[in-house]
Structure 1
Amino acid sequence: MAEVRFIMIGVGGMGREHIRRLLEVPEAAIAALADPSSAAVDEVKKRFPGLADVPVYTDYREAIAQVEADAAVIVSPHSMHYEQGIACMDAGLHVLMEKPFVAGSRNAEQIIAHAEQMNKHLAVAYQRHLLGPYMYIRSLIQSGELGEIRYICAYQAQSWLKGTTGTWRQNPELSCGGQLNDSGSHLLDVVLWATGLEPESVSAFIDNRGSQVDIDSAVTVRFRGGAIATFNVVGSASIGWHEDVSIHGDKGTVLYRNGKLFVAREGERVPAEVPDDELPAASDPNRDFVDLILGRVQQAAAPSSCGLTIARLTEAAWQSAANGSQPIRLS
C-alpha cells in the first residue's frame, strides 16, 4: 500500500485538526467527508481548498458503503463512537478514534474484541503520547532514573464550562460525561501511560456547577505497589488553559509546568529545566496511525487498551462521587 485513504467522520473543530495533520502526511489522502452539518463541511472546504472535490456525505454509513478507503477517523460526539467504529471495521476500515474512545468500559471491551476479530487497527488520538515533554517523562521513569514512583499530582484548569455552554459536550446523551471525560481524559491517560502504574482504588469529589455533566473533579487514585496520585480537573476556571504534572520517585522528581519540563535526579535538591533540544522529536496520532497501517510501527502510540483503562478509571471516579466519595476498587 503506497497511500492510506481516509474517511473523515465528523469535520467540526477537532475534525479539521485531524484533516490538517493528515494533509501533512505524504502517504495519506482524504477520500470523503461525512458530517450532517453543512456549515462544518463548508468550513473544511474553505480552509482546505485542495479538498474542494472530495465527496461529502451527511450519513457516514453511505460514505463507508460507497467510497474506496482504508481507514476512518472518528471525531463525532462521544456517544456515537462505538456504533460508528463497529460499522467502519465491518466495512474493512482501520479506525483512529478521538478520545475518550467509546462510551463506557463495557463498550470499550466489546469494540476492542471486535477489532481483534476483524484484524483491524484501532487506536485512540491521545496526542500526549507523541509530545516531547511527556515522552521524556516516560523515558525517565522507564530507565529507573526516578526510582520507585511514590506520588503524583496532576492538575488541569480550563474555562470548559463557559466554552462548551450550549454545545453537545454538556449534553450527557451525546458527550457521555463532562470535563473529566473530555479534556481531563488526556490528563488521566498521560499519567498512567508515562508511569506504567495500575490503578487499584479510586475516590472522588465532583461538582457539576449547575451543568448536566461533571465540571470540577478532585480524584485520588491508589496504585498497585502503593503509589498515590491526585488528579485535579477544573472545568470552571476563568483561564483558557493550564496543565501541570508533578511526579515524585524515591530517587528523583520531574515537574511539567504548562509546557516546560524540570528534573531533579538523585542527589539534586533543585530541579533544573530540560532544554527543548534535549526532548524527543514530536509527532501526532494521525502520522503515527498512517505508519501503523503501513507497517512502519508495530503498535499505535495510544492503542485502544489505553481507552479502556481510562474508561474504567473514569467510571470508578463517577461511582465514588455518587456514593459519598467512598473508595471504589478496580479489579
Structure 2
Amino acid sequence: MDKVKFIMIGVGGMGREHIRRLLQVPEVEIVALADPSEAAVVDTRKRFPELAETDAYTDYREAIAQADADAAIIVSPHSLHFEQGMACLDGGLHVLMEKPFVAGSDNAERLIAHAEKLGKHLAVAYQRHLSGPYRYIHDVVRSGGIGKVNFICAYQAQNWLIPMKGTWRQNPALSCGGQLNDSGSHLLDVVLWATGLEPEAVTAMIDNRGAEVDIDSAVTVRFKGGAIATFNVIGSSNIDWQEDMSIHGEEGTILYRNHKIFVTKNGERRVTEVDESEFPPSGDPSRDFAELVLGRVTEAAAPASCGLAIARLTEAAWQSAAEGSRLVRL
C-alpha cells in the first residue's frame, strides 16, 4: 500500500486536530467526513479548504458503506466508540480511536478480539506515547536507568468542572465517566506505559463536586512486584493545566513538571534538569497510525491493549470509591 484513505468519524475540535495532522502526510487522503452536526462539517470545510469537495455524511454507517476507505479515526462521545468501532472493523477498516478507547473493559476485550479475528489494526490516540519528554521517561525507566521502581506520584489539575458543564463530557450517558475517564485517562496510561507495571490492587476516593460524573479522584494502586502509585486527578482546579509525575527507583528518580524533567541516577542525591536536546523526537498518533497502515511500523505507539488496561484500572477505582474505598483486586 502506497496511500491510505481515511474516514473521519467526528469532526469537532479534536477531530479537526486529527485532520490537521493527517493533511501533513503526503500518503494520506481523507475521503469522507461523518458527523451528525452539519455546522461541524461546514466549519471543518472552512478551516480546511482542501476538504471542500470531500463527501460528508450525517450517518457514519453510510460513510463506511459508500466511501472507498482503508481506515477510520473515531473522535465521538465515548459511549459511541464501541458500536462505531465494530461497524468500522466489519466494514473492512483499520481503526484509530480517541481515548479512553471504549466504555468498559468488557467492550474493550470484545473489540480487540474482533479486530484480531479480522486482521485489522486497532489503536488508541494516547499521544504521550509519542511526546519527546514522555518518551525520554519511558526509555530511562524501561532500560533500568533508575533501577527497580518503588513509588510513583502522578498529579493532574485542570479547570474542567465549570467549562465542561452542560457538555456531553459531563453527561454520563455519553461520556461514560468524568475527569478520571477524560484527561485523567492520559495520566493513568502514561504511568503504566512508562513503567511497564501491572496493577494488582486499587483503592480510591472520588468526589463529583455536584456534577453527574466524577470530578476529583485520589487513587492508590499497588502493582505486581510491590511498587505503589498515587494518582491525583483534580477537575475542580481553578488553573488551566498542571501535570506532574515523580518516579522513584532504587537507584534514581525522575521528576516530570509540565514538560520539564529532572533526574538522578546511580544513587545521586541532587536532581539535575535534563536538557530538551536529550528528548527523543515527538510525533503524533494520526501520523503514527498512517505509518502503521502503510506498513512502515509494525505496531501502533499505543495499541488497543493500552486502552483495555486503563479501562480495567478505571473501573476498579470507580468500584472502590462506590464501596467506601474498599480494596479492589484486579
Q: Which amino acid aligns with 1:72?
A: A
Distance 1:226 1:127 in 2: 28
- Structure 1 residue 267, shift from structure 2 partner: 2.8
Q: Which amino acid aligns with 1:266?
A: N
Measured against aligned partners, the alpha-carbon deviations of 1:110-133 in whole angstroms (never above 9, x if no partner) come to: 000000011000000000000011
Measured against aligned partners, the alpha-carbon deviations of 1:252-278 in whole angstroms (never above 9, x if no partner) come to: 000000111111111321111111111
Counterparts of 1:102-251 in structure 2, within 5 Å, are: 102-251=102-251
SS of match in other structure, 1:246:
strand
Corresponding position of 2:35? 35
Corresponding position of 2:254? 254
Moved over 6 A (4+): none
Corresponding position of 1:101? 101
Corresponding position of 1:49? 49
Question: RMSD between aligned alpha carbons?
Answer: 0.6
Distance 2:199 2:207 in 1: 23
SS of match in other structure, 1:190:
helix
Corresponding position of 2:317? 317
Distance 1:296 1:229 in 2: 36
Corresponding position of 2:268? 268
Corresponding position of 1:297? 297
Distance 2:59 2:158 in 1: 33
Q: TM-score under structure 2 normalisation?
A: 0.99
Distance 1:184 1:298 in 2: 28
SS of match in other structure, 2:229:
strand
Measured against aligned partners, the alpha-carbon deviations of 1:32-68 in whole angstroms (never above 9, x if no partner) come to: 1000111111111111111111111000000011100
Q: Which amino acid aligns with 2:165?
A: T
- Unpaired runs of at least 5, structure 1: none
SS of match in other structure, 2:99:
coil
SS of match in other structure, 1:69:
coil
Distance 1:200 1:234 in 2: 24
Measured against aligned partners, the alpha-carbon deviations of 1:155-185 in whole angstroms (never above 9, x if no partner) come to: 0000111121110000000000000000000
- Structure 1 residue 26, shift from structure 2 partner: 1.2
1:22 paired with 2:25, answer: no
Q: Which amino acid aligns with 1:79?
A: S
Distance 1:291 1:48 in 2: 22
Residue identity (%): 72
SS of match in other structure, 2:41:
helix
Q: Which amino acid aligns with 2:265?
A: R
- Structure 1 residue 142, shift from structure 2 partner: 1.5
Distance 2:81 2:227 in 1: 33
Q: Which amino acid aligns with 2:166?
A: G
Measured against aligned partners, the alpha-carbon deviations of 1:64-94 in whole angstroms (never above 9, x if no partner) come to: 1110000000000000000000000101000
- Structure 1 residue 248, shift from structure 2 partner: 0.2
Distance 2:5 2:74 in 1: 14
- Structure 1 residue 303, shift from structure 2 partner: 0.3
Distance 1:61 1:267 in 2: 57
Distance 1:103 1:143 in 2: 33
Distance 1:261 1:24 in 2: 29
1:286 paired with 2:286, answer: yes
Distance 1:96 1:193 in 2: 18
Distance 1:305 1:216 in 2: 26
SS of match in other structure, 1:239:
strand
Q: Which amino acid aligns with 2:253?
A: T
SS of match in other structure, 1:161:
coil
Corresponding position of 2:80? 80
SS of match in other structure, 1:238:
strand
Q: Which amino acid aligns with 2:178?
A: G
Q: Which amino acid aligns with 1:35?
A: D
Q: Which amino acid aligns with 1:185?
A: S
Q: Which amino acid aligns with 1:133?
A: P
Q: TM-score under structure 1 normalisation?
A: 0.99
Q: Which amino acid aligns with 1:286?
A: S
Corresponding position of 1:90? 90
- Structure 1 residue 242, shift from structure 2 partner: 0.7
- Unpaired runs of at least 5, structure 2: none
SS of match in other structure, 1:6:
strand
1:70 paired with 2:70, answer: yes
